[in-house]
Structure 1
Amino acid sequence: MGVRLQSRTGRGGTSQLVMSILLMAIAVATVAVGVVSGLQNPPPSWLGCVVFLISVGVTAVYQLPISRVVGLPPLGVASAFLVIGTAGDDPALDIALWVMAYFASKWITSRSLWMAVQWAGIAAVGAVAFVLLSRSLVEAGVWPLVAVVVGVVAYMCVVLFVDFVRERGRWSIDNAFGISGLSPLRLVGVMALCSLVAVAVYVTTTGTLRLVDGAEAELRLARETVPLLVVALFFYGAAKRRQTRLSEQRLSGVVDAARALPWDAESDTKALMVDFARRAIDAGEFEVRRTPPGRNEIGARFSSLDSTDPQLAAEAVSGEGDGVTREHQQDAVEPTEYLVASRKNGGTPFTPDDELALDAIGHIASETARVRGAYDTLLDRVDRDSLTGLPNYNAFQRSLARLNEDRTYASGIAVLFIDLDQFKRLNDTEGHHIGDEVLATVATRLRASVRPHDFVARVGGDEFVIILTKLQSLAEAKSVADNIVANVGAPATLGGREYRPLVSVGLAYSGHQETDPQSIVVDADHSMLAIKKSRRQGGPSFESSIGISPHRSSRINEIVAKAIDDGVLNVVYQPIVNTVEDKIWAFESLVRYTHPELGRISTSSLIEKAKGLGRMDLLTTQVIAASLKSAREFRKIVPSISVVTINLEVEQIRDEHVGGFLKDIVPRYPDITLCLELNERSTKDIDDDLRAQAEHFRSLGVLIALDDYGSEASSVGALVRIPMDILKIDRSLVDNLDEMRQREVVRALQGFGDAFDYSTVVEGVETRDAVDILIGIGVRHAQGFFYGRPVPFAQTMTRLKANGAAGTVGRNAANSAPASAPAVR
């Protein structure tokens, strides 16, 4: 039979319903009459009745097909046990017991009470015909064995006739009126087998189970019931063997469907699905339709992309859509259909394994159709980011190679590696839908900001890359980048709130054709990471920044070397505050440099380049000298502020580096306390000479601080490697003080400091809430934007003159990102 695509609600009508109710009534009436008869005339042995029930129920599992096609009702050998009623004293009870056992077996195997009762009704009509006809023949003097065979044939003919009427005569192969689907050879074979079993049961039991009485009752009961059990077990085993073969058939059909993948794109997916389903399970009919399976049917739900709108398919693949959920998109794009297998009412019921096999084939077909439908769409979108519409990483790589190769002599290109700062926090706090809107907004602004011959791509979750072309100089690249950053950072209203995107940009310039253009991307990426690192170390936190790769321009070397040699670096100062008294007691000195053409050079790039140029010690001595001089001026205004801290690596305290300079300059400022902040990472290789040098400085009144504790892979060993007076806790340990574990870590470090008489300073404090939590867990010293950003000497003097040592000044850095325009997180 071919595949029929149709929508229908079921089979039959009022007449079939009436027929079903009538059969149910017959089944119930037959059982009721038999039970009443049994109560009025109890059998000699109820144990025998139980054995009879079990034997019939077990044997009824074995069914034999009688048709050329699946669908006509199979017949079983359980009818052979009706010979008990032929010779028994109370045939009504015998028939009732047989019908009850048959009903129980059908209910268990079909899992449908409705169908089991109908089958029981048909069986009851056949059983009555069997017993009445065979008893009548025996009473008329016919040889009992002949009467039994006639009874078996009568039973089967009655059962088939009732089912034929119920199915309205549709026994033809094409489901039309007629009996062409019936196999006479199989029918005769089933009748012969049932007759033989019935004769065997009759002969071995020699009559009735009711004639059990007297001292020999138990022996006779055993002789008459054991044959029933033997026959039942034999055919139960045969039924299980058939189930095993059917399981193999199901598995084979599913495996064939899987091995045939990928299904031929030119073929009809639905026809293939039906073909594999027919190989897997026996059913009278297979359909692909829009309605779910009904009675006597099983079905597999699948989604088809045969008639999908390309745009809707693209949105389903990409996850886009105008506020429509993915589930609704799938329903709209992939109409739900069902692969349905059906059998006639009297047919062998489907098993759970049949349903699983059909569902597996339907799933394979659904996935095949989905992948096939999405394939063409993905080919068109392989180089494009689905959310922003920008080219993706693959397209960027190809464009970079092409632009590097095709540029003319002396035509420069630059790569801008752009990272959207604090984007993960934005997703976590505001929701991913706001994050997606931010990404789309940034992408639109980037497209609008570049020149026609530039290239923009999204290469990661919150990362974008721009290739600037036709450049004449690094300064030109920086100018274009400044314009892009300014446009991207403009406030935007998203989700009813105003946001100001914050980006870190790494710029790498190339003035000639590169052998490996990927190296430009690597350098731009490193410069971007340096910007992000500088934020964690006190750099600008609420404004976008551009870092220029020092590796790609010899001019950067010249700029940094000249700035250090000329002593034009800028030193800025950030207050350190006693949280309990809300008073400034120290300032940390930090180095900054802004070039007239290229703008601000990131601190990390400046330090890295100074090391590479061999000028790190010179830079440090300049910062120390400027810091001590400034601290003296600060103390003239606020005498209580007498401490200034500077950053250096532990190796620099040796005499051949900065140590000798320190021993010379510190005594010149007896009223100022200098604090050396030694980066924790640099203390890993400390030796005895460095420890002795540190102790010597402490004897001169210099304080030693361990800086950035808690960043990266901090260890407890760092706390004891070098003598110190101040422990500075890195901002990474206080970025979410609402979390209990983070608070307990800070509390433990404060307790450690108290135990060893260290002053503990928490860095990165940006809100009033953070201050309150820190005070609550015992922290007495803090530093961060809440108390003030790093600012030059003049601005620091202005603050001290206006507010003295006050730590909190009006609406300061704690609110530097106003609620109306918070930085993107």
Structure 2
Amino acid sequence: MVSARFGERSSSLVVSALLIAVAVATVVTGVVAGLLGPRPIIVVCVVFVVSVGVTAVFQLPIGRIAGLPPIGVASALLVVATIADNPVLEVGLWTGAYFVAKAITTRSLWMAGQWAGVASLGAMAFVALSRALIAAGVPAVIAIVISIPVHIAVVLLVEFARDRGRWSVDQSFGVTGVSPWRLSGVVGLSALVAVAVYVSSTGALGIVDGDAVDLTVARQTVPLLAVALVFYGAAKRNQTRSSERRLSGVVDAARALPWTPDIDPRVSMVDFARRAIDASEFEVRRQPPGRDEIGTRFSALDSTDPQLDPAALGDRADGYVTQVHQLDAVEPPEYLVATRNSGGTPFTADDELALDAIGHIASETARVRGAYDTLLDQVDRDSLTGLPNYNAFQRSLVRLNEDRTYASGIAVLFIDLDQFKRLNDSEGHHIGDEVLATVATRLRASVRPHDFVARVGGDEFVVILTKLQTLAESKQVADHIVANVGAPATLGGREYRPLVSVGLAYSGHQETDPQSIVVDADHSMLAIKKSRRQGGPAFESSIGISPHRSSRINEIVAKAIDDGVLNVVYQPIVNTVEDKIWAFESLVRYTHPELGRISTSSLIEKAKGLGRMDLLTKQVIAASLKAGREFRKTVPSITVMTINLEVEQIRDEHVGAFLKEIVPQYPDVTLCLELNERSTKDIDDDLRQQAEHFRELGMLIALDDYGSEASSVGALVRIPMDILKIDRSLVDNLDEARQREVVRALQGFGDAFDYSTIVEGVETRDAVDILVGIGVRHAQGFFYGRPVPLAQTMTRLKAHGAAGTVGRERMREAG
């Protein structure tokens, strides 16, 4: 890669040197021709040079992207060389004037020489072609109009070769970045100006013998000065617009303060720089700017350091962030660099000032943000151990309780160091501090990345375990933590083995009052300490599990099912092509007045263990059919209600007989039985016949959760079905080509066997657009609506009918 860049740079230098040589040769040849040929009129030559130099300042963009070479109308003044007695002199003067203009605007003799070389090649082509056409009898005006695009084409071809053909929008080989309309406008304007200069200079249209033309000084100079004046004003107008753009970009950066904290300041800085400056590329890098580049030094927090990046800390973002530092203190500085292609308009001093201002704003933003984060960290951190303190723990407990999904449990470990006061009294507080720091370090090293550790008191610590599935899993993690904490440590020259009492409280559902988990864990810890005093294990760390919560859940679930007080909520299923609701899925929920919401997975698990799963399913079926009738009265096109059950439940001894009895009572509602894919593995002939019988009665059969865990192709043929529901795990990253192809294949399978395919877990408009693009016609997910009770669903249907996509404000009203 390095050698390739070196070779590219070397070849670029050779081409640049050749172009400069062409410019020098053109100017020198013109001077020699002026000395040896007919004596020129000095006043006309001076006016010609000044006019070309002033006009060359005016440039127009020809591309949709930055970095393409701009084109001006200075070529129009080459008409003087077309009708002059000494065209070589005129081309030399034109090239010299062009070089001076570019040297002033670019502040670089090297770059100006290259531009002059390219322009001289175009000038020679223009003059040679126009004079040849006139000599061949072509009217001068036509010859000039033909020669103008040839001049521009030569310039563009040379620049295209210099840029290695990278004129596409994506910086690859091609010309998609060129705007045909802009290029045509530049060619037309140049031709119009050339014709105007010619007509004003000669006073007539038609064939002109350049050697026989006798023009007065006024006729030769006034058109040139007029063109120069007009386009000097236009150039100044362009400069004013560029200045306004630069100022607007800097002002936007300042007005946006404080920049979005979730976005790296480097990203924001590049965005504002792009608004202010026209460049082909922006980047933040360690290397300072080079040729054809401008840059500004930038200081920012090292967002790649997980100790400093809140996003990298995940659930511990409120926790033990270590000391904040500036990049300049430990690493080389970064630079915000803007780059233009070699043929593009050069950067100006004002561009550099604007870029420097944006870089300064970004540096100050990062510095202030770092100082603010440091202050917050110091407020929420225990100074001895570096762990979060009690306040940070309370906030994190609330956040972790609210953010978890229905199937995700959390556990609180309340940890107390035993005999700590005796250690302080006997060994001194400095040893006690070392013990606390050691325990904190071991706790931090023992937890998983998404868990949380805090010191909430003198010798008390709290751990919040997250993303748990069962109480047994929380106990396993707790055992690992206790084993690590209790390992021997050498402090003050003596071996010390920390002894802890731990109370564990597990919560499988969101809590109305998350503090209740802490209370249960605290009571369990105190029970361990009490057992020590009553003769329990005195020299071993112990864990006490709170029996209060799990034992109550069994009683609560059993009573809720027996009393029929479970809540049924409904989530829409939408035709993505028509954006219309055609079905609702019925889901069960339950919120206890004291313990709060019980997760659906816990509810189902408890119902199975308590022998009440069939009763629960019957209650959901009855509620769904009643709701379906109400939905259809409001929106007649909504006719399908889906309910979840396992394949074994369709036997008559479970809910099969109940289905045969209740479904005929609702002839206007079609019930769809969603059979869990995992439950179809052991299906037999009787179950297949039962499923076929249900289809004859007008029910639909759906295979649910296909794609979760270890799904197999065999599941698609084990049982007759009408609908295939694709699990959310197959569409969690539709930007990945493999996921899209899997969904496309399943949709094709459904089309081939006349199944309706429904994709679950659709949460964004982008996901909907991708799914529609690959042929998916039915979807379900939070994008179309969360599961809500009957009353809220009816409100939505009355307000918006079967509309699948409802605006957030209208959804809020419906809810």
Query: TM-score, structure 2 length as denominator?
Result: 0.43
Higher RCO (C-alpha under 8 Å, 6+ residues apart): 1
Query: TM-score, structure 1 length as denominator?
Result: 0.42
Query: For the pair shown, which has the larger CA radius of gyration, 1 or 2?
Result: 1
